[in-house]
Amino acid sequence: MPSRGNFTLFRVRGIPIGVDWSWFFVLFLIIWLLSGSYRTMLGDSQDSVEPYVFAVISAFLFFGSILLHELGHATEARRHGIGTTHITLWMFGGIAALERDSKTAGEEFKVAAAGPAVSALIAGVSVAIGLATQGAAFWDAMAYDEFADVAGWSRIVAFMAYMNLIILVFNLIPAYPLDGGRIARAAAWRITGSRERATTIAARMGQGFAMIFIAIGVYLFVMGDYVGGIWLAVIGWMLGQSARATVVRNELNRRIGDVSVADVMDADPVAIANDASVETALDEYFLRYQWPWFPVVDPARHFVGLLKRGAADGVPEISRAGISVAELLDPNRSEAQRVRDDEPLESLLGNTELRRLGALAAIDADGRLSGVITLEQVGRALRDAVEGRGGGGSGSQGDPEGDLPR
């Protein structure tokens, strides 16, 4: 998985798009390899600039297609109320970090299949453009035939068609957590009716394919394909580690059992009225309780968002009395900052917003604030489950930064 050393380049529909440091290594490696390949296919001399231009364009289009693949997942996830915290490009492709897991088999299938559908579309459009402009010779260009009778620029189109087909086929391998593995999990989920059993089946398949990848990688290395062998073996190892982590997490889910958010949350926390001024929020809440954020509610106590200390401090002192806290809230984040109190606790295990904030607002079926659940409380419930004590019991402490005001 990408390290924490990534940085954001830009945003698409509010989703941060970033790159890991390893992305630069692969980018320059692709450019270097493609420049030599294009030089051979174009028949250019060593001092020609055109092969390098083609290689740079191809490399960025390749990563652009990976980004579109991940945006396919993110877009479909948003349709089902699942936010995306970020998309990161790295040496092995891209990762869209979703805020929560799917709730139904159908939701899982649609989100998982959206990425491959985008790759299939890009490959199809590329092939259509190539055949329409170059005829049957385009198939030779896709096969990297240096004698293919096609225009130079169509080599880039052929590269895009070929690579997106590779992305499509690879991602459809039924090895969790690849897209194909998630599709397999959705199918097993629908058949068995159990997400836990389906996840175990998909994760075991992922471990099996991981061993196959490693074995093939070792074979290629022995046969002299050192780069390809090491690359495939590393992919297999990482796939195996991800699948193993999924098995462990699934076992935790089983041990947690029917524990819900309401069983471990802090009930009736202090909340700020949405029409309160920023000055009131700072004086009567942040300075008094020293908590980094507070839930904000309307007169009927419906949760409307979280107010962070930094946002309140950022308002000029002269304006604080005339600005309400509601004006500082980000409506696009409120969905990610809350969880139903009847949700199973295991639904929070992969929640990135919980890890980022340290806590989430808990709401009832009518959207009213009913409590706050902290990362510490979730961790305590997990420890109790592992030690066989059960995951229940209401918590009374906040995260390590301080007690939760109630």
**Structure-block tokens of residue 251:** 């076992």
Statement to judge: residues 71 and 48 lie in one domain: yes
Q: Are 357 and 270 within one domain?
A: yes
**N-term to C-term CA, the chain:** 38
Angle, helix 154-171 to helix 105-134, in steps of 10 degrees: 160
31 and 11 co-located in one domain: yes
Is residue 56 domain-shared with residue 161, that is, in the same domain? yes
Q: The CATH number of the domain where 368 resides is what?
A: 3.10.580.10
Q: Are residues 24 and 125 in the same domain?
A: yes
Domain ranges, residue 365 = 261-386
Domain count, the chain: 3
> How far from 333 is each of 179, 262, 330, CA to CA, in Å?
26, 22, 6
Answering whether pTM is above 0.85, one says: no
Residue 395 included in any domain = no
277's torsion region: left (phi>0), alpha (psi -120 to 50) or beta?
Answer: beta
Do 25 and 102 fall into the same domain? Answer: yes
Is residue 393 assigned to a domain? no
Are both 166 and 215 inside the same structural domain?
A: no
Q: Which backbone phi and psi does 359 adopt, to 5 degrees?
A: -170, 160
- Would 29 be classed as within a structural domain? yes
- 249 and 103 in a single domain? The answer is no
Helix (H) or strand (E) holding 272: strand 272-273
Residues 166 and 191 in one domain: no
Can you tell me the distance from the alpha carbon of 51 to that of 42, in angstroms, rounded to the nearest whole number? Answer: 8
Domain membership of residue 405 (yes or no) is no
Q: Which of 115, 147, 172 is at the close of a domain?
A: 172
Rounded to whole angstroms, how far apart are CA atoms 55 and 61? 10
Q: What is the pLDDT along the chain (406 residues), one digit of tens a residue?
A: 554 456 788 888 888 899 988 888 888 988 998 888 888 888 766 678 888 999 999 999 999 999 999 999 999 999 988 888 889 998 878 888 887 788 899 999 999 999 999 999 999 999 999 999 999 999 998 988 888 888 889 999 999 999 999 999 999 999 888 999 999 999 999 999 988 889 889 999 999 999 999 999 999 999 988 878 898 898 899 888 888 888 877 777 676 766 888 888 888 789 999 999 999 999 999 998 888 889 999 999 999 988 889 899 999 999 999 999 999 987 767 777 888 888 877 777 767 778 778 888 898 888 889 989 888 888 887 777 666 654 444 433 333 334 444 4
Q: Is residue 367 part of a domain?
A: yes
| Same domain membership, residue 36 and residue 162 | yes
In a domain, 406, yes or no: no
Q: Are residues 216 and 311 in the same domain?
A: no
The closest alpha carbon to 104, from 230, 167, 198, 24, belongs to 198
**Same-domain pairing of 323 and 206:** no
Q: Which residues pair with 296 in a beta bridge?
A: 272, 305
Return the SS3 of 20: coil
**b/e 251-270 (16+ beta carbons within 10 angstroms → b):** ebbebbeebbbbbbbbeebe
